[in-house]
Amino acid sequence: MTITATGTHGDDNDFPDGGWAAWSCVFGAWCAFICTFGMFNCAGIFVQIYHDDILKDNSLALIAWIPAVQGFVMDSSTAVVGRAFDSYGPRWLLYTGTAIFIFGTMMTSLSSQYYQFILAQGIVSGFGQACVATTVMACVMTWFRRRRAAALGIAVSGSAVGGVIMPIMLNQLIPRVGFPWALRIVGFMCLALCATACVLVRSRLRPKPQPLLLVDYTGPFRDRTMLLLFVGCFLFFGGMFVPATYIIVQAQAAGVDAALVGYLLPIWSAASIPGRIIPGLLADIIGRYNTTTLLLGTSSLLTLALWLPGVHSQDALIAYAVLFGFASGAIFSLAPACVAQVSKIREVGTRTGIAFALGGVGVLVSPLIAGAILDFMGGRDYMGLQLFCGLEMLGGMACFGAARVRQGGWRWGKI
C-alpha cells in the first residue's frame, strides 16, 4: 500500500477499517452531512416560514413542493453523481458541489417569488447537496468493511446535528435580522463545513474512468435482492418525508403551544443522533438487514399507533418526535450499507445512487399525495395523511424484510 497525493490506495478488497485517513474521512463526511441533509431536515421549518409569511398566498400543498423538489433533486442526482465518483473520484465533485450548494443557498435568501424558491432551493441547492453528500458517503464506504455500518452511522449523524442546530438558528435569527440574512448566515456556516470536508475526505481507491453504459443502470434491476432494496427505499424514504414536511403545520393546527412547535424538528433530530450511531454499531453485530428491517417496522408502527391516534395530544407529538426520530434515522446509514453488502466495491457508488434516486422519487411524490389527501379531507383533518404515511413505510419495511429472507431464509442469523 502506498501513500500518494490523493490519499491511501490499496487493492479493492483491502479495507483498513480504521486509521487516521479512514476516521478523518468520517469526520469530514460528518461535517458535510451537517449542512447537506442537515439543512434538508429543516423542511418543516421552511414550509412553516413560507406558509406564514413569504408565500402566504399559496396553498400548503403547493408550498410543500419546494422541499419535495429539493429532496427529489438531492436523491435522484445520486445515480449520476455516484457514477461520476466511481469513474473520476471525489475531489472535483466536492469542490463543484460545494460551490453550487452555497450559490443556491444565497440565491434562496434573495428569493421572493414561488418559482424562485423552486429554482434556487429546490433545484440548484438540491443538486449541490447531492454532489457533496453522495461523494462523502461513497468515500467512507471505501475505507470500511467490517465496521462499515458503524462508520456510516457516525458520518450520517451529522445530518441529525444539523437538524438540531439549523432550525434553532433560523428561529432565533429571523426575528433579529430577517429571513434573508438568517439564511445567509447559515450559508456561511455551511461553506466552512463543506470546506472542511473538501480537505479531509478522500477515497481509498484510485478512480478508474469507465464508459457510461446503460447496463450499469439496468443491470442491478435484474438482481431481485437489489430490486427489493430499490422499491424499499422508494416507499420508506417517501413515507418518512411526510411527517418531516407536515408535522409542524399539523401541530399548529392541533393548537400545540407555539413555543414548542418550533422545537419539534430539533427534538426529532436530536433523537436521531443516537438513532444513526447505535443502530450502525448494532448492525455490525446482529446483521445490517436484521437491524434495518426491525427499525423500519418500528417507524411504521409508531406512525400508526402514536402519531395517528395522538394527533391532538402535545405529549403524543413529543413522544412521536423522539421515538420516530430515533427509529427512522438509521435508514440513511443502513440503506447504503445494505446495498454495499450485496455489491462489488466498484459498483457501490452507482448502486447506492440508484437506491437514493428512487428514494428521491418517493420524496417528491409522497408529500404531494399526502397534501392531496389533506385537501380532500378539508385541509384540517390529518388522519388520511397519517394513515397513508404509515402504510407506505410499512411497505418499505416489507421489501427490506423480503431482501433479508432472500439472503438467509427464515432462520435467524447475522444477515
Give tens-digit pLDDT for 304-321.
Answer: 999 988 777 888 888 998
**At which residue does the C-alpha cell 437489489 appear?**
226
* pLDDT value at residue 13: 61
* CA–CA dist 23, 322 (Å, integer): 29
* CA–CA dist 30, 27 (Å, integer): 5
Residues 243 and 159 in one domain: no
Residues 156 and 234 in one domain: no
pLDDT band (50, 70, 90) for residue 25: very high
Residues 92-118 pLDDT 10s: 899 999 999 999 999 999 999 999 999
Residues 154-199 pLDDT 10s: 898 898 899 889 988 998 999 999 999 999 999 999 999 999 999 9
* CA–CA dist 60, 50 (Å, integer): 9
**Is 22 within the bounds of a domain?**
yes
Residues 96 and 30 in one domain: yes
| Prediction pTM value | 0.79
- Supply the CATH number for residue 260's domain: 1.20.1250.20
* pLDDT value at residue 246: 86
Q: Are 385 and 258 in contact (CB under 8 A)?
A: no
**Is 9 within the bounds of a domain?**
no
**Is 25 within the bounds of a domain?**
yes
Q: Is the pLDDT of residue 126 over 80?
A: yes
Domain that holds residue 366: 215-410
* CA–CA dist 26, 39 (Å, integer): 19
Residues 234-244 pLDDT 10s: 999 999 989 88
* CA–CA dist 145, 165 (Å, integer): 31
Residues 93 and 153 in one domain: yes
Q: Is the pLDDT of residue 85 over 90?
A: no
pLDDT band (50, 70, 90) for residue 124: very high
Residues in the chain, overall count? 415
Residues 195 and 249 in one domain: no
Residues 54 and 109 in one domain: yes
Residues 149 and 227 in one domain: no
CA distances to 26, 171, 320 from 9, rounded to whole Å, are: 17, 45, 45
Q: Are 70 and 239 in contact (CB under 8 A)?
A: no
The count of structural domains within the chain is 2
Residues 185 and 257 in one domain: no
Residues 191 and 249 in one domain: no
Residues 22 and 110 in one domain: yes
User: First vs last Cα of the chain: how many Å apart?
Assistant: 31
Q: Is the pLDDT of residue 120 over 90?
A: yes
**Is 6 within the bounds of a domain?**
no
Residues 120 and 181 in one domain: yes
* CA–CA dist 396, 229 (Å, integer): 9
Phi-psi region of 19 (alpha: psi -120 to 50; beta: other; left: phi over 0): left
